[in-house]
Structure 1
Amino acid sequence: MIEISPPDRRVLAHWFPTGSPGPATIGEHVLATGIGRWWADQPVQPSMVAVSCAGHVVLRGSPQKLTPGVLAPLAGNRVEAPAPFLPALGAAFDRLTPWERMIWTLQCEPRPVIVPRTVTVRRLEPADADAVDALGPDASWLSAGWGGPRGLSMSGHAWGAVGRGGRILAVTCTFFRGSRYEDVAVYAVPDRRDHRLALACVASLCADIRARGRTPGWNCSVHNRAGRLLAWTAGFRLVREYVHYAAGSPVSRERLSA
């Protein structure tokens, strides 16, 4: 695939139906923020288009003219694609691992939570960028869709539980922002995960999303028990399930031609 310029919203709606929770928000997020990349099999009248951001790819179109080598730029990502693409994806990468996912939307009020007096739950500001960065590599995925810690802190779409000295103990943000739904992501430092600070942050962010006229969404692995419990406690309820695929390294040219 080759990288292409961002499409306008009419073209986006043709390839990626908008206004629904889950993977559909990725194209809208990339178009709105400019963070991410667009791909196609050819620059004019493509038969397939992909959008990638923060390690996630949504692939749409027709695989009829597809050869495995075309998909090589999507290596290392988690790819959501219709079933007809699976044979080509399987041939293009040395491994293709299915991940069962769950999509939730906010439908109930969150359970109340008491925040310790030493902690403030608030919207993150540009001055919090260093504190976000200090969360380390384990939390780097959280800000990837905003261009990194500084972009996340400046986005206006992140809330944190901030302790004394400005240390962030838990943070939640809009991971992908769609026109009707905003996917919520959350991270809590390992030594504070039993203090329910993540729930307090999620509740504040969800109120913020609702004030913008959108509905909070939640996307997690079927096997992420802690994520599912937090989603339920915060008022989210299951809408549907789907599968995306972790793509490994591209298959070598020698193997493709063998």
Structure 2
Amino acid sequence: MIPLVAHQVPDLSPWFPLGDCGPATLPEHVRATGVGKWWADDPARPRAVAVACAGHVLLGGEPQALSPKTLAPLAGHCVVAPNRFLPVLGAAFGRIQPWERMIYTHRVPAAVPRPPRGVSVRRLTADDAPALAGLSADMAWIHASWGSPSGLAASGFAWGAFHKDQVLAVACTYFLGSAYEDIACVTVPGHRRERLSLSCVIALCADIAARGRRASWTCSRDNRPSRLLAWTAGFRLEREYVHHVTGASAGSVLLAA
């Protein structure tokens, strides 16, 4: 597939469902923020389009327009695509692993827990970028969809729990859609039973409602702590879906062999 620059990105509606929740918010997020990448089989007259952000990809259009080798840029991603794309994805990569996922939407008001002594819950500002940058490597994914710690901190779409200058938990809009904001959260180890993420999520959901949108929550079917947190924060199951985690491209596997 051929990378697209901003002026080549097509109108989204023929390729992806707009105004939907969960992963469907990804294309709108990339268009709104500029964080992410676009590809097409032909920039002038595309028959297949891919959009990627933070390791997630949506594919749309006609799989017949793609050859396996053109999908090499999607190696190591979580791909959401209609089933008609599975044959070409299977031919393109040495492995594609299905991963069952769940989408929740916010429906029920939740009581705000009282934070521990000395902890404050507030919206992040640009000045909080160093605190985000100080999160451990396994938590850095929380700002990936905004391009950097400074991108998330200055976005206005994140809330955090702080003890002095240390961030203990963060909840943010991960993918910004026109009708839904798909959210995510992390908590620093050692503070995971203090309901800090819950406080941040509830504050974020109130923000989202004030913007005239609804919050959605996407997680693995096997991630019981995430599902429990979503339920406690007032989310209820909307539907389930499957995305596919791609391995190395089939060409690189053959070369390695």
CA 9–38 in structure 1, closer or farther in 2 if over 3 Å, else same: closer
> What residue is the counterpart of 1:217 in the other structure?
216
CA 206–62 in structure 1, closer or farther in 2 if over 3 Å, else same: same
Unaligned runs of 5+ in 2: none
User: How does 1:1-258 map onto structure 2 within 5 Å?
Assistant: 1-6=1-6, 11-164=11-164, 166-252=165-251, 255=254
* Aligned partners of 2:54 and 2:144 also within 8 Å: yes
d(CA) in 1 for partners of 2:8, 2:43? 15
- Superimposed CA distance per residue, residues 175-220 of structure 1 (whole angstroms, 9 cap, x where no aligned partner): 0000000011000001000000110000000000111110000000
* Aligned partners of 2:41 and 2:65 also within 8 Å: no
Aligned-residue offset at 1:253: 6.8
Q: What TM-score, normalized to structure 2?
A: 0.96
d(CA) in 1 for partners of 2:147, 2:12? 22
Moved more, 130-139 or 247-256: 247-256
Counterpart residue identity of residue 87, structure 1: P
* Aligned partners of 2:23 and 2:182 also within 8 Å: no
Counterpart residue identity of residue 146, structure 2: W
CA 253–234 in structure 1, closer or farther in 2 if over 3 Å, else same: closer
* Aligned partners of 2:142 and 2:186 also within 8 Å: yes
d(CA) in 2 for partners of 1:66, 1:13? 20
- Superimposed CA distance per residue, residues 2-38 of structure 1 (whole angstroms, 9 cap, x where no aligned partner): 1013368971111112101011100000000011011
* Aligned partners of 2:103 and 2:219 also within 8 Å: yes
Say what the alpha-carbon RMSD is for the aligned residues. 1.6
Q: Which runs of 4+ in 1 moved over 3 A?
A: 6-10, 253-256
* Aligned partners of 2:9 and 2:38 also within 8 Å: no
Counterpart residue identity of residue 130, structure 1: P
Counterpart residue identity of residue 174, structure 1: T
Give the paired residue count.
255
Unaligned runs of 5+ in 1: none
d(CA) in 1 for partners of 2:18, 2:142? 23
Q: What TM-score, normalized to structure 1?
A: 0.95
d(CA) in 2 for partners of 1:132, 1:55? 19
- Superimposed CA distance per residue, residues 81-119 of structure 1 (whole angstroms, 9 cap, x where no aligned partner): 000100110111111111111011000012431112300
